Amino acid sequence: MSEINNTKRALVIIGAGPAGMSAAVAAYDHGIRDILIIERDSAPGGILRQCIHNGFGLHTFKEELTGPEFAYRFEQQVRDRGIEIKLSTMVLDITPQRVVTVINEQEGIYTIEAGAIILAMGCRERAKGALNIPGTRPSGIFSAGTAQKYVNMHGYMPGREVVILGSGDIGLIMARRMTLEGAVVKAVCEIMPYSGGLIRNIEQCLNDFDIPLLLSHTVVKLHGRARLTGVTIAEVDAQRRPIESTKKFIQCDTLLLSVGLIPENELSKSADVVLDRMTGGAEVDEFRQTSSEGIFACGNVLHVHDLADFAADEGAIAGRAAVDYLMGKIKPERRIRIQTDGRVRYTVPQYIAGEGDVTLYYRVSNIYKNATVGIYEGERKLLRRKKIKLAPGEMETITLPASLIESITGDTIRIGLEEDK
């Protein structure tokens, strides 16, 4: 067996979606030139290549773009700077010592010793197998993202009579897309008493097309042999158990699943990166550095974002921080853990390691109105912000100024939520 070749690079970025490319551009502009982006697909852009709807770029470029246009803006920035991208190249393994094993058709298998690594592998959809829906295994059942790829990139229609399970943003967008292509979307069923998608997508993708959103409903049975012929849905109780008397049959030939996204963290695990059980992504500090020194994470591999613009923003944070790490400027002398109270499901970052201002991104576990979000050290109130409405489908932020962080004497703070009376 021939010896595996080995090369050295200062910064290796895994994933050429908006977060990965934004990280590369930010790292280059922050003073480093030896950058390599590794992408398993045949073109950069990630999931945005199939997102032909508009609504991208308003935050980043101050204009409304489609997904491919948004991705191409970043690709142009990467190309203009001469940053190398290896396409159709798969990363097989990452060690805690930042040794990356890769394979492609042209060069075979080889390793790269990286000074720093940025993880930007994105996320994947949960599949039917994770739902345990009774019934046979007919054709006509797709994840919403797979259906989106068939329609937008290959010109195939998955079906004509559609039910969508789950109200994630991809499912909402595909309800509109299938309708525009001539299909009849009969219902969007959501097991929770609230939608998991953005409010704007509920309005623009469902309400504008009179597509019913059935909250506290789920699919309890699949019908059909060779092809799906229908589904039985039912309302669920507070424990999410189907209520027998509410069962209803809906004739359809297609079921789209939009039941959540999972960060692609198999490589993170091989690098001994500690993962957050709530986000499914890495635990990080405000520099987006993981528990494995010199390995950073950003975008949907870290936590699922509402907007690609925000994933790109996070990529820029990681890109600049990776350069600072390579230059010896990131040497955390403290580590403040951020705990949550359950009403706040999670925060990113989970730790504070520096001395500057820190913006916490957080999601709540239910719909709350007229609430107060507070930061506490023990019983001491550090910061409080009133919110008119909070919903699980909307990412929220709160900024901790450097002066407040400097006043923290312990190694733990807490973020909590109180409903105003």
> What is the full DSSP assignment across 353-387?
-SSS-EEEEEEESS-EEEEEEEEEETTEEEEEEEE
Residue 281 is predicted with a pLDDT of 96
2 falls in which pLDDT band (50, 70, 90)?
very low
Backbone phi and psi for residue 247, each to the nearest 5 degrees, phi listed first? -60, 140
Cis peptide before 349 (omega within 30 of 0): yes
Task: Name the token pair of 392.
Answer: 């699980």
Distance (Å, rounded) from C-alpha 69 to C-alpha 23?
18
The letter for the amino acid at 405 is: I
CB 152 within 8 A of CB 181: no
DSSP letter, residue 289: B
178 falls in which pLDDT band (50, 70, 90)?
very high
Cis peptide before 44 (omega within 30 of 0): no
96-153 pLDDT, tens digit per residue, is: 999 999 999 999 999 999 999 999 999 998 875 556 788 888 999 999 999 999 999 9
CB 309 within 8 A of CB 129: no
Q: Please name every residue paired with 12 in a beta bridge, in sequence order, or none if there are none.
A: 36, 117
Which of 365, 289, 377 shows the shortest CA–CA distance to 337?
Answer: 377
Backbone phi and psi for residue 76, each to the nearest 5 degrees, phi listed first? -60, -40
Looking at the predicted structure, is the pLDDT value of residue 340 above 50? yes
pTM: 0.93
Exposure of 235 in the CB half-sphere (CA atoms within 13 A): 8
The letter for the amino acid at 247 is: K
Mean pLDDT for the chain overall: 94
Average pLDDT (268-289) is 96
Looking at the predicted structure, is the pLDDT value of residue 4 above 70? no
Question: Please, what sign has the CA dihedral across residues 190, 196, 200, 205?
Answer: negative
CB 417 within 8 A of CB 391: no
Looking at the predicted structure, is the pLDDT value of residue 195 above 50? yes
